[in-house]
């Protein structure tokens, strides 16, 4: 990338999560790609991913291979390399995206609790509503439209859940096995994101289990 990528790694529980700023130009390109697919019935049908994903959402479609190669590959390779090195000091030599897709979520839609395949997964935000709507009880937590990461069981000084408010231009990386869900919101507008699953060097992945 033309300028250094900012990466913040944090551990709300066991697994390390990374927060990364997506370049504005890349957000724009992804939105243009999505808008083109939405308006082009042939592309929409060709790239449809709804049969392979579990989201109860308006629309899900794959990112075209040629778009990925031209606009996303270098960025994702760079951030995953940085993520792995930040956590265990190892330099990956292999990086392969297994799948990459767009999610368009609207009022009252949601994504049930699930996990991914591969080694490292990610979600980046492209469009979000101005607000996520009203809450039944303003004194309680407000999960509308948020992604919630879940790991293990709550214990003393160790939470099991961590909520993230989607923000345009933010990308989050996490290990593939990390359970997560996306809550519905009850206002007009689109919550648009892209996700991916990837694999890195098998020896680096397996070394985790070897101690």
The 10s digit of each residue's pLDDT in 51-61 is: 888 889 989 99
* 11-37: average pLDDT: 96
What is the DSSP annotation of 24-90?
Answer: HHHHHHHHHHHHHHHH-HHHHHHHB-TTT---BSSEEEEPPHHHIIIIIHHHHHHHHHHHHHHHH-P
Longest CA–CA span in the chain (Å) reads: 53
Q: What is the pLDDT of residues 184-199, one digit of tens each?
A: 999 999 999 999 999 9
Q: Which of 189, 192, 159, 194 is nearest to 10 (CA)?
A: 159
**Domain boundaries defined on the chain:** 17-210
Give the CATH fold of the 17-210 domain. Jelly Rolls (2.60.120)
DSSP, res 19:
E
Structure confidence at residue 140 as a pLDDT band (50, 70, 90) = low
Residue 211 has pLDDT above 80, yes or no: no
Q: Is the pLDDT of residue 46 over 70?
A: yes
Q: To the nearest whole percent, how much of the chain has pLDDT over 70?
A: 94
């Amino acid at each position: 990338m033309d300028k250094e990528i900012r990466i913040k790694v944090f551990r709300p529980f066991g697994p390390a999560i990374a927060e990364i700023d997506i370049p504005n130009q890349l957000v724009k390109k992804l939105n243009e790609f999505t808008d083109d697919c939405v308006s082009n019935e042939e592309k929409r049908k060709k790239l449809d991913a709804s049969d392979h994903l579990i989201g109860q959402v308006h629309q899900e479609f794959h990112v075209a291979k040629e778009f990925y190669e031209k606009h996303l590959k270098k960025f994702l390779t760079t951030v995953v390399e940085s993520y792995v090195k930040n956590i265990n000091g190892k330099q990956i030599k292999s990086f392969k995206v297994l799948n990459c897709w767009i999610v368009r979520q609207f009022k009252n839609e949601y994504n049930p609790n699930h996990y991914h395949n591969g080694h490292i997964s990610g979600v980046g935000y492209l469009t979000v509503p101005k607000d996520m709507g009203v809450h039944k009880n303003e004194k309680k937590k407000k999960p509308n439209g948020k992604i919630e990461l879940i790991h293990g069981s709550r214990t003393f000084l160790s939470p099991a859940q961590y909520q993230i408010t989607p923000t345009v231009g933010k990308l989050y990386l996490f290990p593939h096995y990390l359970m997560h869900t996306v809550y519905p919101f009850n206002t007009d507008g689109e919550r648009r994101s892209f996700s991916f699953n990837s694999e890195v060097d098998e020896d680096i992945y397996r070394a985790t289990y070897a101690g």
